[in-house]
Amino acid sequence: MFFSALLVISVAFFAMNMGASGIAPSFASAYGARLISRRMTAVLFAVFLTLGAAAFGSRVVKTLSAGLLPKDLFSFNVALIIIISATASLFIANILKIPQSTSWVTVAATLGAAIYFGKLNWVTTGHMVGMWLVLPAIGFGLTLWAYRVIYPPTQKNLWFYEKVHLWKRQIQVLALVSSCYVAFAIGANNVANAVGPLAGAGLIDPFWGLLIIAPLFGLGGWIINDRTMKTIGKEIVPLGLITSTIVSFITATLLLVASYLGFPQSLVQLNTLSILAVGTLKHEHVLAMREKATQKTLVVWLIAPIISVALSYVLLVLFKV
């Protein structure tokens, strides 16, 4: 009974922390542009995230529940330790006000278990790591290319800036739509991080698990979203409406591609690399990387998955699962 309650609490806490981390890359752009209030970000985030989870989430659940660790090795205890390990590393990142990849910490915790049992699926892991490297690079390149068309202002793109003043309302609506699109993409991919270990252990049906856990993301986004949104939307690169729309559409589309293929993918890295592409163009290549917020983010990105792997492995050893 105690461990069942602990699992429920751990999953709820994990989902809320994922919501707190995931709401930043979805609505930080609009929030940084002062387009939407903190309360409304949480409402829209929860609604569109749930829709995305229902539409595509089961594909990623399948990978997390059987693609990295054989399903016959998943048990109640293994699922509990994976969730606790991922939650701990994600919570540390949120305390430091750094949006961290929920996919990275969840996969890392699962890899810790796979290493413990000596049953790591190297093929799936290799494909996944390849996606983690390639998709953010594509996002960086696409954003850099798209933003070069409109920045800096020149005689060639002067027509664009004239239209911006005429279409101000339409641009605001488009920016908000793009944020909702990102929330949908998060639901399609990241909700599976909480459901996958439970489905692998046979504790919950994947579809109903997605629908039950998705609203907890919105609750987490409401409680502690302000920290991470300020880091991404204001401290690294202050974003305007045009920029936020470009970043959102590119990153969400890439995340949906990963979801359709069944791979857990980091929206946080996709979004941040796109924002850094804007910063690179605005600040002459390297200035964006010299920002303290950027450096702090990169360090936490490296450390959090290592903590997740190590904690998962150590807990399995200590409890002799």
pLDDT tens across 174-188, in order? 888 998 999 999 999
* CB proximity list for 225: less than 8 A, separation 6 or greater: 19, 20, 23, 24, 27, 38, 41, 42, 45
Q: Pick the more confident residue, 166 or 63.
A: 63
Residue written as token pair 């994600």? 90
99: preceding bond cis by omega (within 30 degrees): no
Candidate ranges 47-51, 152-156, 276-280, 294-298; pick with highest mean pLDDT: 47-51
pLDDT greater at residue 2 or residue 232? 2
Banded pLDDT at 143 (limits 50, 70, 90) = very high
Contacts of 92 (CB under 8 A, 6+ apart): 300, 304, 307
Confidence of residue 236 (pLDDT cuts 50, 70, 90): very low
Say what the pLDDT of residue 54 is. Answer: 93
Q: How far apart are CA 97 and CA 111, in angstroms?
A: 26
Average pLDDT over residues 11-24: 82
Region 115-136 average pLDDT = 91
Tokens of 186: 């998060």
Average pLDDT, the chain: 83
Q: For the chain, how long is the longest CA-to-CA vector?
A: 70
Residue entry with tokens 């290319």:
145
pLDDT-derived band of residue 219, with 50, 70 and 90 as boundaries?
A: confident
Q: Which pLDDT score, from 0 to 100, does residue 137 have?
A: 94
Whether the pLDDT of residue 17 is over 60: the answer is yes
Q: Which of 11-15, 113-117, 199-203 has the highest mean pLDDT?
A: 113-117
pLDDT at 116 over 80: yes
Per residue in 241-298, pLDDT (tens digit) is 788 788 889 999 999 999 999 999 988 788 878 888 887 777 655 555 566 666 777 7
Q: Give the mean pLDDT of 95-113.
A: 85
Q: How much of the chain, in percent, has pLDDT values that exceed 90?
A: 36
Position 237 scores a pLDDT of 45
- pTM for this entry: 0.86
- The reported pLDDT for the residue numbered 66 is 86
In this structure, the number of other CB atoms found within 10 A of the CB of residue 118 comes to 7
CB 194 within 8 A of CB 10: no
Task: Kindly state the tokens that stand for 18.
Answer: 């994922």
